[in-house]
Amino acid sequence: MLVHPNCLFNKCNIHIISNNIASANFRPHLLLSEWCEDFDIFIFQEIWWDKIGTGQSDSNPLGKDVLGTMNNPQWVTYLPPGRDARVAIYVSKHFIYKHNLTITPIPIHVPTGHMMGIRISQGDAAVTIISIYNSAKAGRDFICEVVTVHNIDPQHKYLIAGDFNLHHPLWDSQVPANHVRGDARLLADWFLNNNIHIDNDPDTPTRRGQPGQHDTVIDLIGLSTNGIYDGTFDPIAVRPDLNTGSDHYPITTTIHLLQLDASPHSPTHSAASSGKQNKNGPPTPSLLWNRPKHLLFLFH
C-alpha cells in the first residue's frame, strides 16, 4: 500500500555503507573504527573468513580449527549460517539501544554463505536489508538460486546490496545489449519483476579495473520502489573517498524509518475522520527528486 509522504513522520535515520572488502581482515577493522560516528550499518561482501581459534577435537590432540571473521565489541555481527560465510552485516549496538530497534535475521535458504538478510523494525516501520556476493566463479547456478529461493514481499521495503559480478546495460552504460549473459538477464528480470529499483548511475563505476580491464558497475544497490515513493530511501552515492584499498568503492545511503502520523492534524487522521479523500492526492514520480532520469521508466 502506498501512503502519501505528508502522512508520515521520520522516526530514525540509518546511515549505511556497503563495500566488497576483498577478503582483507584489516578493512572492516579500519572502517568500523574510523567511521563508527558516521555510519550505523556496514554491509560487507567477500569478507575475510579464516581461523580465529582452536576447538577441542576427539580425534586430534592438537584440536580443530575454528573458522570465522572479525568481531568488534561495539557492533553486532550478523552472518549467514554455515562454515563459509562470504557476506556479513554489522549493526551499531549503541544505535540499536538508542532507537530501540528490533533486528531479526531473515532465513534465506541459499546453500552457500553468499546471501543473508536482516529485518530492522521500530514500531510499525520496518526495512529488510539483504547482502549478496555473487563470486565471479559461481556461474549461473547461484543467481538461479537467488531468484528462486527468496520471495520479495511487495508489502515490505527492501534494500538489496551486493557485488553481483554481472554486466547489464540496466546498471552499466558501457555494456552492449547484445553482450549480456543469461544470468545477468535473469537478475535484471528479478529486480524489475519485484519492483526493485537499481539506484546506481550506469555511468559511475563501482569497481576499478585491473590493468587491461575497464572500470565497471557491478556493486549494486536495489531499493523497493514503494520505499523510494514515500521517502524511506535516500539516493545512493559511490564514495571512492572512503576506499581502504579494495578495488571496489564503498556505496552509501540513508534509510528513514517512517511511522504513520496519526496525530489529530495529520492528513490521514483528517481524511479518515471527515470521510473525505486526502485533498493532496496521490504522490507523483517527482518524489524521486534527483534520481537518474533514465531510470524513471519504472514509474511510468
Question: Could you report the per-residue pLDDT of 114-150, keeping only the tens digit for each?
Answer: 899 999 999 889 999 999 999 887 767 888 888 877 7
Q: Inform me whether the pLDDT recorded for 272 exceeds 70.
A: no
Higher pLDDT, 138 or 160: 160
Q: Inform me whether the pLDDT recorded for 153 exceeds 70.
A: yes
Domain boundaries in the chain? 5-51+67-299
Question: In this structure, how many other beta carbons lie within 10 angstroms of the beta carbon of residue 168?
Answer: 23
Question: In this structure, how many other beta carbons lie within 10 angstroms of the beta carbon of residue 48?
Answer: 19
Give the torsion sign (CA, 32, 255, 189, 174): negative
DSSP assignment letter at 233: B
State the cell numbers at 125. Answer: 516501520
Which alpha helices (H) appear in 23-108, and where do they start and end? 26-34, 93-99
Q: Inform me whether the pLDDT recorded for 298 exceeds 70.
A: no
Higher pLDDT, 122 or 109: 122
β-strand pairing of 196-198 with 237-238: unpaired
In angstroms, rounded to a whole number, what is the distance separating the alpha carbons of residues 141 and 143? 6
In angstroms, rounded to a whole number, what is the distance separating the alpha carbons of residues 198 and 35? 26
Beta bridge partners of 50: 68
* Cβ-based neighbours of 133, under 8 Å, separated by 6 or more: 20, 45, 46, 86, 87, 114, 115, 162, 163
Tell me, what's the pLDDT at 285? 37
Tell me, what's the pLDDT at 278? 38
Give pLDDT tens digits for 219-270: 999 999 999 999 999 999 999 999 988 999 999 999 999 876 555 444 433 3
* Cβ-based neighbours of 292, under 8 Å, separated by 6 or more: 201, 202
β-strand pairing of 102-106 with 87-92: unpaired
Q: Which of 5-19, 47-61, 201-215 has the lowest mean pLDDT?
A: 47-61
Which CATH number does the domain 5-51+67-299 belong to among 3.60.10.10, 3.90.930.60, 3.40.50.300, 3.30.70.1520?
Answer: 3.60.10.10
In angstroms, rounded to a whole number, what is the distance separating the alpha carbons of residues 22 and 247? 8
pTM score, whole prediction: 0.83
